[in-house]
Structure 1
Amino acid sequence: MIEKRDFYINGAWVAPSEAHDLAVIDPSTEQQCAVISLGSQADTDAAVAAAKAAFPAWSAAPLGDRLAALERLEALYNARKTEMSEAMSLEMGAPKFLSETSQWGAGAWHIKEAIRAARAYEFERKSGDDWIYHEPIGVAALITPWNWPMNQVTLKVIPALAVGCTVVLKPSEIAPLSSILLAEMIDEAGFPAGVFNMVNGDGAGVGSQLSVHPDVDMVSFTGSTRAGALITKAAADTVKRVSLELGGKGANVIFADADDKAVARGVRHCFQNTGQSCNAPTRMLVEESIYDQVVESAREAAEQQAVGPAQQDGRHIGPLVSEGHWHKVQGLIQDGIDEGARLVAGGTGRPDGMNAGYFVKPTVFADVNNQMKIAREEVFGPVLVIIPFKDEADALTIANDTPYGLGNYVQTQDPEKAKRMARGMRSGMVEVNGNSLGGETPFGGYKQSGNGREGSVWGLEEYLEVKAVAGIS
């Protein structure tokens, strides 16, 4: 069994100030695979103090020196791809293929893009006769989720370090192994002591301690909308910046002129990562004239979706991350049945033949209306709801009738209709006809999906203050 109780503070691995072991569970087997420790107030204080002490020198270091350290980290991340992929499969159940490609790859893309964006960024620029300086905000507390571990950690850690901030990372206690591995790489890359610190803990402990800490200048959080609201309230007394990337309930609008692969593509996208993605297209809105045909196609796609252990080869979906999350998703599937939605595929319980592991049947509900619980709440599992619409205006009304506003999707061969829909959708991102957004675009949402942007230039600016200066040449 893996034992990783220590924290990374001030350039060294240190034992917790007090014992508080936590088991890490392999969701494919329900067996303990590792043990970590949860931090206390003393551990949080030590990490923040180290980051605060390291900030003056790191923020004043030449950009080239900071980027050179990040390039050394990038080389280590690429060289240790297999270890990182295996860690994510073990801790949160990402199937081997997904972990080796999208899960590991997301981290690689974000490291490369943050370095590129920082190298090209104008940290000082003229505005008339005055100067505008973009300066690092200070100590950044980074609180990350379990569903895309390296995607979210690198989206925060790398731009923060690039612009000159020092950081304290609190990864998810459910999936901490990949972040521990990244901390080992950062140590090997030779960053100055205190620039990067990592303390494991839960939201009620280390997460809350960081949110209220007077020496933390900003908090960047990715996770549930409920937790994001609590962090915002906790941070208010110290008026620190809070950047949030929260939940979603993406609409995938299928018009009658959509391409032949649109439905199957939408089902697969909804089920990717076992539905544990905040930008998943979980509401399929379908034009009435093709509704029955689409429901049948969605049923076929769901029934063809394989489910299996994370360590198994193949393009299947794995388990949900934890027992608690499994019960939550089961409850929401039952809610859909109780509300009168038509169960087209899947349902409650594990897939046939699976007696262990947090596996879920790929599930599709038809005849859903937008007031049902399964249409309004973020299920965060492989559950698709199908809702009919009459025309373009009706589709837009339904798509926007949600507290969330992260990612939406449009399927049509009419370019003008696609543009009208993209303009009218109240969301931070829109993808049309299966075209994914590139690495140089911002990731984030409207409304209760959050208030920040991550990735590329936008990711850098999350960690910068703006200073106006007059009277110097």
Structure 2
Amino acid sequence: MTEHTLTVAGVAVDTRHWIGGERVASAETFTDVSPIDGSVLGEISRGTAAEADLAVAAAKAAFPAWAATSRAERARILHAVADGVEKRIEDLAIVETTDNGALLRSHRRGVMPRVAHNFRFFADWLLKLDHEDFETRGHTNHVSWDPAGPSVLITPWNAPLMLSTWKVAPALAAGNTVVLKPAEWTPLTASLLADIAAEAGLPAGVLNIVQGYGSEIGDALTSHPDVRRISFTGSVPTAQRITQSAAANLTPLSLELGGKSPLLVFADADLDLAVDLAVEQYDNAGQVCLAATRILVEETVAEEFTRRFAEKAAAIVQGDPRDEATDIGPNIHERQLEKIDGFVRRAVDAGARAVIGGHCGEGRYYAPTLLTDVAQDSEIVQEEVFGPVLTLQTFTTEDEAVQLANDTRFGLAATLATGDRDRAARVTQRLVAGTVWVNCFFVRDLQAPFGGSRHSGVGREGGTWSFDFYCDLKNTVTAPKGWKDHG
């Protein structure tokens, strides 16, 4: 390990920022720690307003040429980035698992291939992005998507590279230049992405990556007058600060925030399927914004559902995420573990009962937990825990189920288990959510709109919606007359 390089399972990772096509070190660093065993991975360059200014300046300087690059050439380069990701799936998988504690098998088989797909999808969508011309009293209307400018993308730690490229790929495809700030708890795969993008031929300054704390570099990025788009995935309080920072410059925002999503289980549902869907909510140690953490079960089947759930959950293997047999790994940080445990302890003190779990394991592992006897207005039902903690409540009517489902300040997603097609249509139409899954979970297509309602976010991304956000839409109206014939 050299001064600016650390090694993770044999993979070299540069710890400096990537600005204007060059590595840039900061005078100060912060320590990156693996949640698997608490081991120190290395010291990472800790950016401040100075690095924010450098990165935005680089993005601004590179913008005119990149915006003028043809759609076909931008798409070709994004496909080359995808090729580079696919060549390094094993490196990316082991580094990300070590850095954030998610399952290695998932990174190998699903997450990192999805990273490559993000680039390919938006490259291909760019080439077919179009709106049919239309007529107004003989005048022709033509809609176009113009690149907006430098874009700041701030991403979370629960799926670092996949969620980063979900933003980076459409921003670059749109013709924008990018400053990416990964979460300080999981900075490593973003650094590898910089290497991959450079090798793919992405021009210097088109993608810039800066590391550090939100209070030190994030605020400088989101308040910068030369930034034309900000996309953020994370918590509501951080989004409120970003919104205030962006307000002075009227910088457009896309915010994908927290969730407290329900899983509605009706008596006519396939109960084994419903149990499988419920247990699946422990995925990634519960660190999934879309997770249906509030299980709402029709009273007549609640006892049987709970029995089957406890049996199914008992088979979950919690341990080292690098082990193929492991089902869920550690939580990301001691601070997060303390937050999770605090939620559960306060709930139990208020009268909740732990059907399973309810306690910390060794290290940063929290036991999968199911709490019953919880009140609708309680903290554990209303606030996002972001850990392997589910609550179970019962209902007796369809109206009550919908009322309970919608009775939080969030509206990111909802999951519904029923054997009645008519009921599914009625209930999904009434649920407040950006995404509703019926008898399934986490089926996502990049061409679909994605985002949340209420405090779960602002705006939608995916497919054309991503280009609508990252571009300035223009309508050109042309008269049928007034032309001169130049022969």
TM interval, short-chain normalised: over 0.9
Residue number in structure 2 paired with 1:7? 17
Q: Give the deviation of 1:124 after TM superposition.
A: 8.2
User: Is the counterpart of residue 183 in structure 1 residue 194 in structure 2?
Assistant: yes
1:469 and 2:467 are equivalent in the alignment: no
Q: Give distance in 1, aligned partners of 2:293 and 2:135.
A: 45
In the alignment, the residues of structure 2 paired with residue 126 and residue 176 of structure 1 have an alpha-carbon distance, to the nearest angstrom, of: 47
Task: Tell me how far 1:434 sits from its aligned partner.
Answer: 1.2
Partner SS for 2:440: coil
Give the Å deviation of 1:369: 2.5
> Which amino acid in the other structure matches residue 5 of structure 1?
T
**Aligned match of 1:421:** 427
Give the TM-score normalised by the residue count of structure 1. Answer: 0.95
Q: Pick one of 154, 157, 162 that aligns with 1:143.
A: 154
Q: Which moved more, 1:451-460 or 1:133-142?
A: 451-460
Correspondence 1:358 to 2:368: no
Give, in whole Å, the separation in 2 of the partners of 1:126 and 1:409: 39
Aligned residues: 466
3-state secondary structure, aligned to 1:467: strand
Which deviates more from structure 2 when the two are superposed, residues 150-159 or residues 363-372? 363-372
CA distance in 1, matches of 2:245, 2:132: 33
In structure 2, the residue corresponding to 1:462 is in which secondary structure? helix
What is the match of residue 358 of structure 2? 347
C-alpha distance in 1 between matches for 2:463 and 2:316 = 34
**Could you tell me how far apart the structure 1 residues matched to 2:226 and 2:241 are?**
19
Question: Aligned pair in 2 of structure 1 residues 316, 208: CA closer, same or farther (>3 Å)?
Answer: same
Deviation at 1:338, TM superposition (A): 1.1
1:208 aligned onto 2:215: no
Contact preservation (8 Å) 2:103, 2:321: yes
1:372 is the counterpart of 2:383: no
Aligned partner letter, 1:346: G
Whole-angstrom CA distance in 2 between matches of 1:414 and 1:297: 22
Q: 1:27 matched to which residue of 2?
A: 35
Q: Which residue of 1 aligns with 2:258?
A: 247
Partner residue in 2 for 1:440: 447
Structure 2 residue 187 is matched with structure 1 residue 171: no
1:390 to 393, 396, 410: 396
1:196 aligns with 2:207: yes
> Is the 8 Å Cα contact of residues 416 and 424 (structure 2) preserved in structure 1?
yes
Measure the CA separation in 1 of the matches of 2:444 and 2:169: 20
SS of corresponding position for 1:66: helix
- Larger mean Cα displacement after TM superposition, 116-125 or 135-144: 116-125
Give the secondary structure class of the aligned counterpart of 1:410.
Answer: strand
CA positional deviation for 1:368: 2.1
TM-score by length of 2: 0.93
Aligned partners of 2:156 and 2:234 also within 8 Å: yes
TM alignment of 1:55-74, pairs within 5 A:
55-74=63-82
CA contact (8 A) 2:320 2:326 kept: no
String of CA shifts for 1:57-94, please: whole Å, max 9, x gaps.
11111100101110100100011000111111011001
Structure showing greater radius of gyration is 2
Mapped partners of 1:52, 1:438: distance in 2: 32
Report 1:322-337 matches (<5 A): 322-337=333-348
| Residues 183-192 or 448-457, more deviating | 448-457
1:270 alignment partner AA: Q
Gapped regions of structure 2 (runs ≥ 5): 7-12, 481-487
- When residues 466 and 127 of structure 1 are mapped into structure 2, their CA distance, relative to the original with a 3 A threshold, is farther
Q: Please say if 1:456 is aligned against 2:467.
A: no
Q: Any idea what the Cα deviations from partners look like across 1:86-105, whole Å, max 9, x if unmatched?
A: 11101100121122223323
**Cα RMSD, aligned residues only:** 1.5
Percent identity of paired positions between Structure 1 and Structure 2: 36
- Is there any run of 5+ residues in structure 1 with no aligned partner, and where? none
1:298 match: 309
Residue 168 of structure 1 aligns to a residue whose secondary structure is strand
Runs of 4+ more than 6 Å apart: none
Partners of 1:8 and 1:127 in 2: CA distance: 47
Corresponding letter in the other structure for 1:140: S
**Residue identity in the other structure for 1:399:** A
**Structure 1 counterpart of 2:143, which letter?**
I
Q: C-alpha offsets along residues 118-159 of structure 1, whole Å, 9 cap, x if unaligned?
A: 121017845542322211111100000000112211111000
Alignment of 1:40-55 (within 5 A): 40-55=48-63
Structure 2 residue matching 1:73: 3-state secondary structure: helix
Which residue number in structure 1 is paired with residue 239 of structure 2?
228
